[in-house]
Amino acid sequence: MRAVVQRVKRSSVTVANREVGSIGRGFLVLLGIADDDTPEDLEYLVSKITHLRAFEDADGKMNVSLFDVAGELLVVSQFTLLADCRRGRRPSFTGAAPLETAQTYYNDFIRMVQQQGIRVASGVFQAEMEVLIVNDGPVTFLLDSKRLF
């Protein structure tokens, strides 16, 4: 499971010219599900993202989490995070999870974050989306549940 986590001042997602989700201060999470992901991968990323100390404390150091700043999460599915571009010029998506599996993990990710008391907005799974991002910093992290990077 892979995620691109961007600290934002605000972010929103639109489908067919209709806003379907928006947040204020928090993280935009672009989430990709791999074909070999397990519940442990899901738990790892939920914990890592919700506890990531990426917000500044009173001394200006990145030292506090979403919990500490009452931050929000906007989650957008993005299977292209699993693209393999090492050979040729056409990306291969064979490492991405099948549709039903990916959707289940995506929904579980949202539910697990909400259960921790964090407000979550989301895009529409498998839809063509327009994502507005007002970066804060900019601060961006790449996370992989297999710890490949």
Report, as residue numbers or ranges, the catalytic residues. Answer: 78-80
Residue 12 Cα to chain centre, angstroms: 13
Cα(24)–Cα(18) distance, integer angstroms: 18
Q: Are 5 and 76 in contact (CB under 8 A)?
A: no
In 1-147, which residue ranges form alpha helices assigned H by DSSP? Answer: 39-51, 66-69, 99-115
Cα(121)–Cα(114) distance, integer angstroms: 10
> Residue 148: helix, strand or coil by DSSP?
coil
